[in-house]
A and B are shown apart, each in its own frame.
Chain A
Amino acid sequence: MLGRLLGGRMLQYVMLIVVILVLNFMLPRAMPGTPLAFLAGEDVGLMTTEQREEVMAQHGLDRPLPHQFARYMGNLLQGDFGYSFQQRRPITDILMERLPWTLLLAGANLVLTTIIGVLVGAVAAWRRGGRADAGLLATFVFMAAMPSFWIGMILVAVFAAQLGWFPVYGAYSTYAGLTGWERIVDIGRHLVLPLTSLVFISVSSVFFTMRYSMLSVLREDYISMARAKGVPERLVKYRHAMRNALLPVLTIFMLNLGFIFSGAVVIETVFAYPGIGRLLFQAVLTRDYPVLQATFLLITMTVIIANIVADLLYPLFDPRVRVR
C-alpha cells in the first residue's frame, strides 16, 4: 500500500544510488593511465613492474570489470569503504570519526534555518508590499548572494580574531581534557560561528519558499471563509494559513539537504571543523582519491536517505497524499 505510493519515488532513489555507485566505480578506472594511482595512492612511478603487478593483483585490478564491480559492491555492503594510503587507516574508521561533527553542524543548521526561514517568510508575506516586506526581501537576497566561506572568514576575523569571543577553529579544545558540562559548553562555543555562517547562507531558500507559498495560500478561498465564519486573525494565520503554507517548505527541505552538505564542505574548511566536508577538502589537497570517493558516497547516501525519510513523513502533514 505504502509501497505503491512510494513505488515511483523509491525506484528513482534506487536508480540514483546505482548511478552514483557506478560513477564512483568507473571514475578512477576511466581515467587515462593506471587506476592504481587513484585507487592505491602508492607512488606508482617508483615501483618496479613486479611490485606494481602485485599491488594490482592485491586489489583485484587485474580481473575483468564486472568482477571488480562485484568485489567493490561486496566491500561496500560490509561497510568497508577501502583504505586510505595517505592516512594509513581504514576509511570507514575515518568516516565514523568525522560523521558526528557534520551531523551536529548540519542538523543544528537544518533546525535553525527552518524555524527562522518559516517565521520570517510568513511575516514578510503577511506584510506584503509594506516596508518590512521589501526590507526583508532585499536582506535575504543579499544574504543568499554572499559566498559562504566569506561569511565564515569575516565572522572569524571579527568575533574570533579581533574580539576573541569565540574560538578560531576546530570543534572542541584539544588536550584540554574537558568533561561533562564543560565539554558541552566548549563544543557549543566552537559551533557558534560555523553554524551562524551556515544558517546565513541556507536560510534564504526557506524564506523565499515560505513567503511565496504563504502569499498563495492567503489568496485561497478557505482563508476568506475562515475569516467570514469568525476565526480571529491570529488563528487564521497560524491555524489555517500556516499549516498549508508549510507543505512546500517540506519539499524544499529535502532539496536543501544537498545544499547544506555543499555549504558544510566549504564552512568546515574555513573553520577547520573536523567533519566530513573538511575531510573531502583534505582529500582533494592530498589527492587521496579513495577517501574523496568514499566521502562523496557517504554524503550522497545521507542525502538520499534523508529524502526517503522526508517522503515517508510528508503524508503526516498533507492528508491529500495519505493512503486511504
Chain B
Amino acid sequence: MTAALQVRNLSAEYSTSTGVVRAVHDVSFELRRGETLGLIGESGCGKTTIGQALLNNLEAPGRIAGGQVMLGDIDLLSLSGKALRRTRWDRIAMVPQSAMHALNPVYRVGDQIAEAIELHTSATHQAALARARELLDMVGVDPGRARDYPHQFSGGMRQRVAIAMALSCEPEVLICDEATTGLDVLTEAQVIGALRDMQRAFELSIIMISHDLHMIGRVSDRIAIMYAGRLVEVAPAEDVRTDPRHPYTQGLLSAVPALTAEPQHLEPIPGLVPDLRHLPPGCRFAPRCPFAIDECDHDIPPLIETVPGAQGDRRLVACIRDGDLVGKQSA
C-alpha cells in the first residue's frame, strides 16, 4: 500500500535581521493511508513550520529550503500558481494552529466554507452553501449558524468551523496544528470525536501536531518526535509509551505526569531548547542528554531503522548510542 504522503528531506527556514533560522532541518517521514500520525515536540521546535511547509504555504519571511512532499506522484513543493492552488485543499488541507483567528471577521462562516468549495468545484454558491451547512452539521455545529459571523462563535466552535472548512473539499490528508490546544477537556473530547468520525467518513490520513503527549498518545497510531528542527524518533504510539528509545523521548515522558498512575516523580529535562541560530555541531540534544559521549558532538545522527518494539512495526530513531542503550533505560 502506498503512503498518503511521503516527505523527503524537507528543510525550511526564516530569514531574520539576525540571520537565517533553519526551523526545519532535513525531515523525512511517511504518512500511511488512513492513519493518524502524531507530531510532537517542545514549543518552537518547528512543528507549525512543518505543517505549513507540507501545504507549501509558508509566509514570508519563511521559505522552503529543500526537499519533497509527495502526494501520490505529485511533489507539492514543485507546484506553484494555479496548479498549487488547485491541488491544495482539494487533496491536502489543514486546521491551522490559531483556528480561532483563521476565520475572516467580516464574512459569514457559511460563505467562507462555501468559498473553498466554489474554488475547487463547479458548484454554484447555493450548492456550496448547502454543502457548508452539511459539513457544519457533521462537526457538531448547528447548520443554522452558517449565517453567523466568526465573532459570534465560542473558541471551541470556531475550531469546529475550521475543521469543517478543512474538510470542505474532502481531502485525503488533513493536518491539524494544535487543533485542541486551549480547549477544555470535554470540548477537546468532542472535537477529537468529530475528527474521528470524519476520518472514518472520508478515509482521511491525519497528522496531529501538538505538544500534549497525552492527547497525541490517545489519538495517534504512530508518533513522530521532533527536537530543534529535526525528527529524533518515529514509532508506533504504544511503543513510544512503553519503550521510548531516544533519550529525548524518554525525557519527555518522564516530564509528563500520567493521568492514571499513582503519585509520580516528575523529572524535567535539564537545560533549554537550543537557539536555532546557534546549534551544537553534532546531535542537537547532546548538551542536555544524560548519555551523551564525545562522539555525539561530531556528526548529526541520522534517523535510521532500529530494532522493532512490541508492536512489531518499523521504528526509527536518531541516536548513535541507540544500540548500547536498548533495554537499559526503559525500566
Contacts and interface: CB of A to CB of B under 8 A. Distances in A.
B222 interface: no
A229 B132 CA distance: 14
Contact of B106 (A226, A229, A319, A324): A319
Given A221-B96, A318-B106, A227 B57 contact: yes
Given A221-B98, A319-B151, A228 B105 contact: no
A224 B119 CA distance: 16
Nearest to B149: A319
A274 B248 CA distance: 80
A222 B149 contact: no
Contact of A230 (B52, B94, B106, B119): B119
A147 B104 CA distance: 40
Contacts of A324: 152
A227 B57 CA distance: 8
Interface string B75-97: 00000000001101110011010
B86 A230 contact: yes
B101 A231 contact: no
B55 interface: yes
Interface in A295-324: 317-320, 324
Contacts of B90: 230
Interface in A219-273: 220-222, 224-232, 240, 243-244
A221 B102 contact: yes
B101 A320 contact: no
Interface residues of B, number: 28
B89 A220 contact: no
B57 A230 contact: no
Name A's interface SS: helix
Nearest to A228: B57
B104 A222 contact: yes
Contacts of B93: 228-229
A133 B192 CA distance: 45
B96 A229 contact: no
A22 to B, nearest CB: 40
Contacts of B85: 230-232
B76 to A, nearest CB: 12
Given A221-B96, A221-B98, A224-B57, A229 B115 contact: yes
B255 to A, nearest CB: 30
Interface residues of A, number: 20
Contacts of A319: 105-106, 149, 151
Given A240-B104, A320-B149, 5 more contacts: A222-B102, A229-B88, A229-B116, A229-B165, A243-B106
A222 B120 CA distance: 18
A226 B102 CA distance: 9
Contacts of B89: 228-230
Interface in B116-147: 116, 119-120
A227 to B, nearest CB: 6
Contact of B105 (A226, A231, A320): A320
Contacts of B168: 229
A226 B85 CA distance: 11
Interface string A69-103: 00000000000000000000000000000000000
B103 interface: yes
A225 B149 contact: no
A227 B58 CA distance: 10
Contacts of A221: 96, 98, 101-102
B59 interface: yes
B126 to A, nearest CB: 19
Given A222-B104, A224-B59, A319-B105, A230 B120 contact: yes
A317 B105 CA distance: 11
B210 to A, nearest CB: 18
Given A229-B93, A232-B85, A320-B149, A220 B101 contact: yes
* Most chain B CB within a 10 A radius of its CB, from A221, A226, A228, A317: A228
A22 B149 CA distance: 44
Given A227-B57, A228-B55, A319-B149, A244 B104 contact: yes
Contact of B102 (A225, A232, A244, A317): A225
29 contacts: A220-B101, A221-B101, A222-B101, A222-B102, A222-B103, A224-B52, A224-B59, A224-B96, A224-B102, A225-B104, A225-B165, A226-B104, A228-B57, A228-B88, A228-B89, A228-B96, A229-B88, A229-B165, A229-B168, A230-B88, A230-B116, A230-B119, A231-B115, A243-B106, A244-B104, A244-B106, A318-B105, A318-B106, A320-B151
A319 B111 CA distance: 14
A211 to B, nearest CB: 17
Nearest to B97: A221
The 8 closest A-B pairs by CB, nearest first: A221-B101, A319-B149, A229-B116, A230-B85, A225-B102, A222-B104, A230-B119, A229-B89
Interface string A135-177: 0000000000000000000000000000000000000000000
A319 B105 CA distance: 8
B154 to A, nearest CB: 15
Nearest to A243: B106
B98 to A, nearest CB: 5
B204 to A, nearest CB: 17
Nearest to B100: A221
A221 B102 CA distance: 5
B96 A225 contact: yes
A220 B120 CA distance: 23
A6 B152 CA distance: 20
A317 B93 CA distance: 30
A239 to B, nearest CB: 9
A230 B80 CA distance: 11
A233 to B, nearest CB: 9
